[in-house]
Chains A and B, each alone.
Chain A
């Protein structure tokens, strides 16, 4: 009797478990009925704008401010930040700068692996220079446009850690916020002006962040000028190329087009064939076709600095293909090319001494100065 009871109990239990299992299967069936083929949306990096990416321009409302009051506001701005520079994009408002001292300055030393801060410049044109052997070099003039350091963020602060599970892989580089071209703060939004509060500089038109090694940190308010780079060194120049809009294949990819006559109808500037048939009977990825041309970020690497001018903060850089139009903004970095990297210690973290603006230009030793005598070849 007792045994039978136990059996019954066991059977009951088994039934129970079977039922539970059935339910479980049933439940799992319900889950699998919602098909998720791709899980990419879960780990896709979200676009997180940096905190300084704010609206700059204030909406121009009619505030009914009298001209006297407007003058008063301008006076206040001048009092706070110093009088603006007379000519455009020249270092200005120096007199009111809060120069924060950097106590760690002596400790820092430059090694080949450290990364320095870059600068914001404007492309102001191009003209040829000549070498001492008579060869012509086409150069582009880049003017470093009234740059000041606004903030330094150490590696822990700048940017989210991309892979939170691996904590040992912290960001290697901190970042420096650099602003270029002081402007009238009354034209800007309040939030945007807040960025510049700690730096003690007038609000700037343009901001850029540069990734630097922690040793390369620069105190806020420090001006960056052309002495940051030395003649003969190589730089990478990043800029946005000229926007050509939607262009055909002849302009965009340099296709030849088709003849003007000899029975050609309506296909003078068309691409012609875009692929074969059979197994390859589709348009292959990367086929050159009409589309939007320009307005892309491009980096021109390894450009030598041939000459610098301290007065106007201008550097002459190799080549005439610096991305962007004349007057466009470009960003200058120390080059990353392994053979052209800095070998000797540059001004690190930047050039701190007073720049003698009256001094003459600094030329690379192979350059022919225009003040030098005419080049004459000696016969052997």
Chain B
């Protein structure tokens, strides 16, 4: 009886684990919704399995162990996951690429950031006055994978919108700072190009904001106000969450055509999701390979941060 109770406890743990590790590259609610029925099935299946298994002192299965790799690595280090397109994949190329990425990460601290975070990038520039240039802006997009991964920073400088595309592993980048770590409601913020300039204006001398360790990354649910038409893209068709006044500027014909191009069935298309993501098992393999390195780098970063806070004299005079 005692043994069976212990086992049921373990199965419960397994179920919890299953619920946590529902892998997909996009942080959607679907993943959680999908994982829940699976967990239920498992709970249904467990009593049968319990009766089938002999109540002897069998060694604990390895699956019950807690995974070493944190489940949020796929959001912190999305570029370590290869392109899901099967035709372009090759295990040896991916491995070599990952080794190169780690080599670069040993030279430069590339912090965790998301679309919507405000960042400052210092890079070597042969044409700049002091041979370095610093650009502060909001990250409006992050794409590609491996050594090709890149992000776009946007700011408004002297009433002129500026965007700079940085490659994350470009060796001319000297320093990447995250001034405000936060997320937005959308996957990319290209609509800031058509928004009022104050939504993409950030002070160049902005101080880095401190976020408590272990705290979840805050989601900024600000609603951006768009300028009147003409726009660069048909925003009304993209189901944007972070825009306040799309309805103000669109007419009935726009609304109708937007309805026509909607594909509400796509969220149920499991094959589409499968093709556009890396399966959970492969993600585990990838991160198991690079986890120790990345973890030690994180520890180093934390240590450096603490040192900096102690050493820095704020007011001298």
- CB closest chain-B residue, reference A316: B96
Q: Is the CB of B93 within 8 A of A124?
A: yes
CB proximity of A89 to chain B, nearest CB, Å? 8
**A127, A134, A143, A368, most chain B CB atoms within 10 A:** A127
Q: Is the CB of A136 within 8 A of B96?
A: no
Q: Is B147 an interface residue (CB 8 A)?
A: yes
Q: Is A38 an interface residue (CB 8 A)?
A: no
Interface string of B165-186 (1 = CB under 8 A from A): 0010111111000000000000
Q: Given A372-B171, A374-B171, A379-B130, is A125 in contact with B103 using a C-beta cutoff of 8 Å?
A: no
Interface residues of B in 134-181 (CB under 8 A from A): 146-148, 167, 169-174
Q: Is the CB of B147 within 8 A of A128?
A: yes
A173-B212 Cα distance, complex, nearest whole Å: 72
Interface string of B84-125 (1 = CB under 8 A from A): 000111111110110011011011100000000000000011
Q: Given A124-B93, A377-B131, A379-B130, is A326 in contact with B104 using a C-beta cutoff of 8 Å?
A: no
- CB closest chain-A residue, reference B103: A370
**B94, B101, B124, most chain A CB atoms within 10 A:** B124
Total inter-chain residue pairs, C-beta < 8 Å: 79
| Chain A residues closer than 8 Å to B126, beta-carbon distance | 134, 377
| Chain B residues closer than 8 Å to A369, beta-carbon distance | 103
Count of A interface residues, CB-CB < 8 Å: 28
CB proximity of B20 to chain A, nearest CB, Å? 32
- CB closest chain-B residue, reference A378: B131
Q: Is the CB of B107 within 8 A of A372?
A: yes
Q: Is the CB of A124 within 8 A of B131?
A: no
| Chain B residues closer than 8 Å to A125, beta-carbon distance | 88, 90, 93-94, 97
- CB closest chain-B residue, reference A374: B174
Q: Is the CB of B92 within 8 A of A87?
A: yes
Count of B interface residues, CB-CB < 8 Å: 33
Q: Is the CB of B92 within 8 A of A370?
A: no
Q: Is the CB of A370 within 8 A of B90?
A: no
CB proximity of B244 to chain A, nearest CB, Å? 33
CB proximity of B186 to chain A, nearest CB, Å? 28
| Chain B residues closer than 8 Å to A130, beta-carbon distance | 170-172
A118-B70 Cα distance, complex, nearest whole Å: 47
Q: Is the CB of B93 within 8 A of A128?
A: no
CB proximity of A23 to chain B, nearest CB, Å? 75
Q: Is the CB of A134 within 8 A of B103?
A: no
CB proximity of A192 to chain B, nearest CB, Å? 27
A143-B90 Cα distance, complex, nearest whole Å: 11
Q: Is the CB of A373 within 8 A of B107?
A: yes
| Chain B residues closer than 8 Å to A128, beta-carbon distance | 147-148, 167
| Chain B residues closer than 8 Å to A326, beta-carbon distance | 87-90
CB proximity of B226 to chain A, nearest CB, Å? 27
Q: Is A319 an interface residue (CB 8 A)?
A: no
Binding site for A on B (CB under 8 A): 87-94, 96-97, 100-101, 103-104, 106-108, 124-126, 130-132, 146-148, 167, 169-174
Binding site for B on A (CB under 8 A): 87, 124-125, 127-128, 130, 134, 136, 141, 143, 309, 312, 314, 325-327, 368-379
18 further contact pairs, Cβ within 8 A, besides A326-B87, A377-B124:
A87-B92, A124-B93, A125-B90, A127-B93, A127-B147, A136-B170, A309-B96, A312-B92, A314-B92, A325-B87, A327-B87, A371-B106, A372-B107, A374-B172, A376-B124, A376-B132, A376-B174, A377-B131
Q: Give 4 nearest A-B pairs by CB, closest first.
A: A125-B93, A370-B103, A124-B90, A377-B131
